[in-house]
Amino acid sequence: MLKNALVLSLFVVATLCKPLHKRWDDFKVKHAWVDGVPKGWEVIGPAPPEYRLAVRIGLRQDRIDDLIAHLYAVSDPNHHRYGQHLTKGEVEILSTPHPDSTSLVEDWLSHYGLLNSPECQLTRSSSGDWISLSIPAGQLEQMLGTKYHVYKHTATETTLIRTTSYNLPSILHEHVTVVTPSTYFGRPKPQDKTSFIQSVGKTLSETATDLGINDAHDAHKHTVSPTCNSKITPSCLNALYNISYTPVSTKKNSLGVAGYLNEFANHADLKLFFAGFRPDAVYGDFNIVQIANGGNNQSDPGVEANLDIQYTLGLTYPTPNTYYSIGGSPPYIPDGNTPTNTNEPYLSFLDFILDQGNIPQTITTSYGDDEQTVPRDYAEAVCNGFAKLGARGSSVLFSSGDSGVGGGDCLTNDGKNRTEFLPIFPASCPYVTTVGGTNGTAPERAALFSGGGFSNYFGRPSYQSQAVETFLGTLGDQTYTGLFNASGRGFPDVAAQGLNFQVVVGGKIYSVGGTSASSPTFAAVVSLLNDARITAGLPSLGFLNPWLYTEGFKGLNDIVSGNNPGCGTDGFKAVKGWDPVTGLGTPNFGLLKHLVVNRTTVGGRTKKWSVDKGLRRPWFS
């Protein structure tokens, strides 16, 4: 009896010490669309099983909470570590997955013969939190317990390969954050771009006649011309936003524009733009960096791309500007059965930029999707990527969208078909600075299209708690009850002009509107502020929001009129203080420059910001 008990106990110990058998077919849903095929898409047929997909597997970052804590510490002007941005290596240390996560995912890939297969072209991000590889669609279906299909967007006939749901083995759920491409359909052009053409193109001479002024070329004129109410130029923005500054630290400071969807910035159009609106910069130009097979077709200029680069460089010359052309489509051999495979572009950009030793101090992006159409796992992974850029000292700005509180039928896609305001992503990410739109000059007021509202994915960050609570107090208890998430991250954070921008496209000038104009405008102001700080021996501003809500708002023009209708309502109203239409307001560069180089202390005294070279970093571990 004793012998049997001993044998049994030894068996139990041996069993406990033996690694558990991993079941790769014990599936649990990772993400699924309740309504099946998203609106606007139709199924063409099953994905060719041999078609190779460029797959990214996101591993859970073991210290992401520590990274976010560091981000807030170096971004809070009242913290002793303000401005001590993390290095690339420090961010990578905080982004590294737990060894158990890496081991389990490698076992999973080995089970399918993918870990050391030359055909898979497996690569890892610097910190190991992303694994990229090429996998046949049929094999990926086995790994994720799903079926991939070819889908066509009915309005644009764009095709891609996606699934409406996918699973992961239960053992991997705590270790894998997202697998792409999977359930993120996105919206192909032109819906993604937050800009729109207001008038047909004219020649430069015709537009100059319309302006009716000879001093439109004065880059630093500070009298706002009446024509600026109908046609915005760099001189209008300089006058309206009190910009009178020539960049000095052009070897250290730079600005980046992220472009997607085959939108190409054109060198020839920029020269014409400068000839008409800023002759002193006529020899200025921008760099182009192509990412993930992004193109550079100079015979096909894009309205969005030209708008962005003409106004960032038009306001910041001679600061180096870089246009990032992001494709997100892997190489493929087209035939009758193989469609193009548009990959998730934000991840392509983040993969590239976070791997660079030097990154622009300011980055602007003018694209977005309805938040509810972006899978939460994907949104969180992308948002964390922007947090990493902020931690490294880059100010990341996004346009807030052009549909007010929501466009279309404003129905939820969770199977309940409730009417609800529709927030925009990545504008709703708490680690970016979101820019709404205004128009007019006397007074400046909220543009009717200015996107704004509250996230359903991301909770309200502490930096805006008081400002948002104050706004909600103006609404009353019954206004729009149930139409928005009052505890969510509120956006936009700031605003800038968004109508009547004069943009050269294909040699002609168009009047262009949208928060796509607002984001590059505010980004240009931030870039000039970064130049002023760097020239004074100070670090770049980095993640702006904690500073904006505690001190930066003192250098903004509060917008108190206008609203952003949508979803069959008048939307929110612009009020004193923060509001989900124009945020904290539009820039006054002169005041902002004083704030970023100096600061007002208790008692009204002004002192210089302290400088910490960060040579000793005992706080990082």
Q: In whole angstroms, what is the distance from residue 67 CA to residue 91 CA?
A: 7
Average pLDDT over residues 142-156: 92
CA angle 175, 177, 181 (to 5 degrees): 130
- The phi and psi torsions of 397 (rounded to 5 degrees) equal -120, 145
- Judged against a pLDDT cut of 70, whether residue 221 lies above it is answered with no
pLDDT band at 442 (very low <50, low <70, confident <90, very high): confident
How far lies 299's CA from each of 189, 219, 267, in Å?
19, 29, 10
- Exposure letters 547-568 (e unless 16+ CB within 10 A, then b): bbbeebbebbbbbbebbbebbe
Domain 239-608 sits in CATH at: 3.40.50.200
- Judged against a pLDDT cut of 50, whether residue 83 lies above it is answered with yes
pLDDT in tens, 456-513: 999 999 999 999 999 999 998 778 999 999 999 999 999 999 999 999 999 999 999 9
Q: Which residues pair with 288 in a beta bridge?
A: 323
Average the pLDDT over each of 38-47, 242-251, 389-398 and give the range with the smallest value. Answer: 38-47
* Rg from Cα positions in the chain: 25
pLDDT in tens, 309-328: 999 999 999 999 999 999 86
pLDDT in tens, 544-580: 999 999 999 999 999 999 999 999 999 999 999 999 9
pLDDT band at 127 (very low <50, low <70, confident <90, very high): very high
pLDDT band at 599 (very low <50, low <70, confident <90, very high): confident
pLDDT in tens, 2-18: 445 444 444 444 433 43
Domain assignments of the chain as residue spans, ordered by start: 20-62+97-180, 239-608
Tokens coding 368: 């977005």
pLDDT in tens, 343-363: 567 998 999 999 999 999 999
Bond from prior residue into 318 cis (ω within 30 degrees of 0): yes
Closest CA to 573 of 496, 480, 509, 499: 480
Q: In whole angstroms, what is the distance from residue 380 CA to residue 180 CA?
A: 13
Mean pLDDT value across the chain: 88
Work out the number of other CB atoms within 10 angstroms of the CB of residue 409.
11
Q: Which residue in this structure is represented by tokens 């992503």? A: 425
Residue 436's pLDDT is 97
Q: Which residue in this structure is represented by tokens 């299209």? A: 449
How far lies 371's CA from each of 113, 368, 458, in Å?
36, 8, 10
CB 26, CB 171: distance < 8 Å = yes
User: Three-state DSSP class for 426?
Assistant: coil
- Judged against a pLDDT cut of 90, whether residue 159 lies above it is answered with no
Q: Which residue has the higher pLDDT, 341 or 419?
A: 419
**Residue 357 — left, alpha, or beta (φ > 0 → left; ψ -120 to 50 → alpha)?**
alpha
Q: In whole angstroms, what is the distance from residue 562 CA to residue 579 CA?
A: 11
- Judged against a pLDDT cut of 50, whether residue 338 lies above it is answered with no
Residue 609's pLDDT is 75
Average pLDDT over residues 117-122: 92
pLDDT band at 190 (very low <50, low <70, confident <90, very high): very low
- Judged against a pLDDT cut of 50, whether residue 339 lies above it is answered with no
pLDDT in tens, 236-253: 999 999 999 999 999 999
- Exposure letters 475-509 (e unless 16+ CB within 10 A, then b): eeeeebeebbbeebbbbbbbbbbbbbbbbbbeebb
**Catalytically annotated residues:** 304, 308, 516
Residue 195's pLDDT is 54
- The phi and psi torsions of 448 (rounded to 5 degrees) equal -60, -30
Closest CA to 585 of 549, 535, 618, 543: 549
Tokens coding 361: 């101090």
CB contact set of 169 (below 8 Å; sequence gap of 6+): 22, 23, 24, 25, 26, 27, 28, 108
Residue 154's pLDDT is 86
